[in-house]
Structure 1
Amino acid sequence: MKDRLTELEIKTSLTEDLVDELNRTVYRQQQQLDLLQAQLRHLYGQMLTNAEPAEPHSLRDEIPPHY
């Protein structure tokens, strides 16, 4: 009985360590996601700022000159 209790305590301790490590991993990944989203918003804002209005063009302008 005592051996079984000791084994369960060891398993519980290892499980707690694993859960703590997984929590730290999830936290770091969330920080990375937040940073990537902020960078994406920044790039999107730059794209909108630098975007020139598209001029209408004819498909005939895209025909190669040898036609």
Structure 2
Amino acid sequence: MSELADQPPPTLQRIPSGIAGLDRILHGGFLKGGTYLIMGPPGAGKTILANQFCFNHVAAGGSVLYLT
């Protein structure tokens, strides 16, 4: 038990969105392995936001599952 107390807490891995302002708000990006639901009224920019994030992540060598 004392060995666990001596270890530093794990660092949360984040995936940058590629959108500087959003990454600042999210402290570096989305949590790796997280599931996110983007909600808002019609015309709010949900699809543009999701497409931009997916594009930036794939361009950086990542993979994306995009469901609508």
TM-score by length of 2: 0.29
Q: Larger % of strand: which? A: 2
Greater relative CO, 1 or 2 (CA 8 Å, sep 6+): 2
Structure of higher CA gyration radius: 1
